[in-house]
Amino acid sequence: MIGYILVSALLIAAGLLVVGPLKHTSLIAWDERTVSWFAQHRTHFQNSVSLYWSKLADAPSIVAVGLLIAILLAIRGRWRQSAYLAALLAVELGTFLTISYSVGRARPTVVHLGSVPSTGSFPSGHIAATIVLYGFIAVLLWKSATARVVRFLAVAWVLVAALAVGWARMYRGMHHPLDVLAGAAMGIGLLLVFSVAFNTVCWPAEGRRS
């Protein structure tokens, strides 16, 4: 709840600045130009690659991966961690909807590749969900995996996926760069709050089970 309130309040304030006092500044002009540049340099190959990364962070994909991880945790008897993942994804969704509808920023004025969600452009829910879900998995592996390469790959995947999803959403005309940065901030903020609670609530009770 604290994470939801804090992250929502900060990003709503930032979003209202973007659609209000900063609307006619060079920062927002750059924001719009960047998306236009991507739209003007589209290729068939990049269209296909961006579609893959965009779908990876779509709600059905996030739910499917999250459900799979939750089931695997439950099978191993880690019920608290499984429930915590479900709660974390629910908080991410609630935070995203709260910010998006409070700010109400319009999507970029370019041709969109794919269907346009009914939510606003600020922040990017795709990148926030990517960071929250795969960040959760990275935290689990960092604490339980004995092989350093596994830990490294888990963290590296979060970074690669976040960057690729952010690029894909801008390339496909769904978000401005500031929207993507806000989505990343939202995901990181929730993950940080989660990590503190996870260490105190879940890990001591279940983290060391084989």
Q: pLDDT 10s per residue in the chain (210 long)?
A: 777 888 999 999 999 999 999 999 999 999 999 999 999 999 999 999 999 999 999 999 999 999 999 999 999 888 888 888 898 999 999 999 999 999 999 999 999 998 898 899 999 999 999 999 999 999 888 877 778 898 899 999 999 999 999 999 999 999 999 999 999 999 999 988 887 766 655 555 454 444
Contact 127, 182 (CB under 8 A): no
How far is the C-alpha of 156 from the C-alpha of 23, rounded, in Å?
35
Instruction: Check residue 202 and give its pLDDT.
Output: 52
How far is the C-alpha of 162 from the C-alpha of 182, rounded, in Å?
12
Instruction: Check residue 210 and give its pLDDT.
Output: 42
Contact 123, 99 (CB under 8 A): yes
Instruction: Check residue 70 and give its pLDDT.
Output: 92
Q: Fill in the DSSP letter of residue 114.
A: S
How far is the C-alpha of 190 from the C-alpha of 71, rounded, in Å?
22
DSSP string, 48-96: HHHHHHHHHTSHHHHHHHHHHHHHHHHHTT-HHHHHHHHHHHHHHHHHH
How far is the C-alpha of 96 from the C-alpha of 126, rounded, in Å?
10
Closest listed residue to residue 133, CA positions, set 74, 84, 177: 84
Instruction: Check residue 108 and give its pLDDT.
Output: 95
pTM: 0.89
Instruction: Check residue 143 and give its pLDDT.
Output: 79
For residue 124, give Cα distances in angstroms to 16, 95, 111, 147. 15, 11, 18, 33
How far is the C-alpha of 31 from the C-alpha of 48, rounded, in Å?
24
